[in-house]
Chains A and B, each alone.
Chain A
Amino acid sequence: MNKDMVILIAEDDAGHFQLIKKNLWLTCVDNDILQFKNGQEILDFLLKTNGETDPEKLKKYILLLDIRLPQVDGVEVLMKIKADDRLRKIPVIMLTTTSETDMIKQCYNLECSYYIVKPIDYHGFMEAVQSLGEFLSLEGMRLPCLSENQN
């Protein structure tokens, strides 16, 4: 149903990225997964996408966003996405080691969809990503289209 969903992962830790990708692949095999190593890269990509006028080229995106990122951090990325009329529809799932209560609150105030703290142990992390993958690949999941006008 959501074969056209592209999963964007903003993660600067190569080991974490591989682990996330591998475990998402078990459930989201049909989807493209793109990695961004810093906050500026993801913003550049999204702003370029936002300028796209050909609806055929507009995909359905979902963003997994770490907080500690070089150049522009995850909170700033979230803020910029949610301040844009079109990009704000992209579901942003925070996936981070930061577990401070204030940070969780701040991200929900900035309208992240969900906040997931990376489990410290390897197996816990794998299981968490698989649960996320199974959720994202639900048959009934309906993602927003960037191409459609606002209601």
Chain B
Amino acid sequence: MTKDSIILVGDNDPSHFELIKKNLSRAGVSNEILHFTDGQKILDFLFKASEEPEQGPASQKYLLLLDICLGKVDGVEVLTRIKQDEKLKKVPVIILAGSDEPDIIEKCHNLGCSTYIVKPPEDRDFEKTVQKIGRFLSVVEITSIE
């Protein structure tokens, strides 16, 4: 992932966000990371970016780490709206959620998430998981939303 790509994190638990941010950085990810606690704000942010003219935020590359349990609009709805949009569907969405419900997992796969990962309950394991995600993201190429 090029250094100018932005990682969006949708997580309503501030301690989880801090853990994610810290461990992405430990894995060598130096990209800008933006935090959202409610689903509506993620949608507002992305739809605004996609409507900007060229050379603006639409030429930006985004990747989203998304929890299911979020304020206002939940993660499933956020995923639905992103994948229904012709431009925004190109944003890879990694679900990183507390939920291990088979129905939700299946639904997210049907909607087109790139990966579904259940947050490990222990912090130590969660940290390792995020570091592995970070090292993987370092070798992935993403694309702008325009």
Contact = CB atoms under 8 A, between A and B. Distances in A.
B143 interface: yes
B105 interface: yes
B137 to A, nearest CB: 9
A111 B112 contact: yes
A144 B141 contact: no
A138 interface: yes
A57 to B, nearest CB: 19
B139 A131 contact: yes
A38 B141 CA distance: 24
Interface string A132-151: 10110011111111001011
A101 B129 contact: no
A18 interface: no
Interface stretch (A9-17, A43-51, A114-122): A114-122
Contacts of A134: 132, 135-136
B23 to A, nearest CB: 13
Please indicate which of the listed interface residues B90, B107, B119 has the most CB atoms of chain A within 10 Å of its own CB: B90
Contacts of B135: 131, 134-135
Given A131-B136, A138-B129, A108 B92 contact: yes
Contacts of A113: 92, 114-115
A142 B116 contact: yes
Interface of B: 89-90, 92, 100, 103, 105-107, 109-110, 112, 114-120, 125, 129, 132-133, 135-136, 138-144
Given A104-B143, A119-B139, A132-B136, 12 more contacts: A105-B90, A109-B89, A111-B112, A113-B114, A114-B140, A116-B141, A117-B141, A132-B139, A134-B135, A135-B115, A135-B136, A143-B109
13 contacts: A89-B109, A101-B143, A105-B143, A108-B92, A111-B89, A113-B92, A113-B115, A114-B92, A116-B140, A128-B139, A134-B132, A142-B118, A143-B109
